[in-house]
Amino acid sequence: MSNTNIIQPKSSTVLHIRSKDATQVLDGFNTDFNLNLKNPIIVANDEELHISLMSCEIPYSFYNISSDLNNNTLYYAETLLTFTNQDYSIDDVIDFFNNDTGFSALFTTTYDRQKNKIKFTNISDSTQILQFANSTINKVIGYDDTGRQDDVTVASGSYSESPFVCNLATVHSLLIKANIGQANVLSTISGNSSILQKVSVDVNTNGIIYLNQQDYRQISISQAPIIDHIEFKITDQNNNLLQLNNVNFELSVIFQIFPKYNSRNTQRDIIAPQNSINVPTQITSITRPEDIVDNVDSTHPITGKTEIEHRADRLILDEIIDQID
């Protein structure tokens, strides 16, 4: 059995949060909020605070195309086409292009379901330009990101097909952020990060997003002396604040206080110590019985007998002893 010492928390505090009880920071967004703890968490100088998300129940009530996600505009021929904030299927996207009178006067939009690509055919009498360099819907309809995708010039009677597949699953994960984590979490966007937990989006719209068994439980470490005010934000993977359209949600956070690691006075065994065994420093020579050499002069007090006579006497004596036993 392993004797590894497992460091146990000195104390644990669980905080259950209802968004309806919190104070919104940005009007209309309940995913940007703060709260004040009536009973603050105190951390001593020789302690550190470990913070992790225990559970969450967040409704999938945000739209996959919206101004909040910054993915709903297309510039063409010096004209701005803005998609209404709502949920879209690929058929809804095609219909929106074809139902807009200004855009449909220049382009016919079709969708190749097997390729999952969109095609814009120029039906006007002149060359037209799709200005993707300034548009935000690019990734949704299969073009490259803003700033990476050049404008596309389409001659009369010609077409432009999206080089990549359409992507209507625009929110891949939820990032729950708080101002209480310090230094041990990184991200490719900002380096040191305030992300408390990354939550997978594994349901469709109108479902509930849970912190499930496949989501790794992240631990954020804080050495702040007191936790009494916490600021939270919930964003998508692109750092866009989620718009839940006034639908409430719940979070549960656990705070665990551990002794602060110090190599001089804190031992954290990672290998089980072995039992102490007294091991001789020198091997003692052991003589086997058959190695003993009988010598008449050294093993028997009677002198004047040959070695053969001496051995015979010993055999007789041994036999008598066996009989007595």
Q: Name residue, tokens 């020198």.
A: 282
Listed in sequence order, the DSSP H helices in the chain are: 90-99, 101-104, 296-299, 307-324
- The closest of 222, 255, 259, 224 to 6, measured between CA atoms, is 259
Residue 247: partners with Cβ closer than 8 Å, 6 or more residues away? 30, 59, 61
**In degrees rounded to 5, what are phi and psi of residue 187?**
-145, 160
Tens digit of pLDDT for each residue in 157-204?
A: 999 999 999 999 999 999 999 998 665 666 666 555 789 999 999 999
Task: Name the token pair of 243.
Answer: 């718009």
Domains delineated in the chain? 11-62+172-259 (2.60.120.1100), 73-161 (no CATH), 294-324 (no CATH)
Q: Where does residue 51 rank: exposed (0-12), middle (13-18), buried (19+ CB within 10 A)?
A: buried
Query: What is the C-alpha separation between 179 and 43, in angstroms, rounded?
Result: 16
* Token digits of residue 308: 């053969």
CA distance 233 to 38: 21
Read off the pTM: 0.76
The residue to which tokens 């089980």 are assigned? 272
Q: What is the pLDDT along the chain (325 residues), one digit of tens a residue?
A: 555 567 889 999 999 999 999 999 999 999 999 999 999 999 999 999 999 999 999 999 999 999 999 999 999 999 999 999 999 999 999 999 999 999 999 999 999 999 999 999 999 999 999 999 999 999 999 999 888 899 999 999 999 999 999 999 999 999 999 998 665 666 666 555 789 999 999 999 999 999 987 788 889 988 889 999 999 999 999 999 999 999 999 999 999 999 987 665 444 443 333 333 343 334 334 333 344 344 444 444 445 556 666 666 666 666 666 666 5
Rounded CA separation 281/283 (Å): 7
Q: DSSP letter string over 135-156?
A: -S-TTTTT-PPTTTSPPEEE-T
Number of C-beta neighbours around residue 76 at 10 A:
22
Residue 247 near residue 29, CB atoms below 8 Å: no
What's the distance, CA 163 to chain centroid? 32
DSSP-derived 3-state class of residue 19: helix
Which neighbouring-strand residues pair with 65? 86
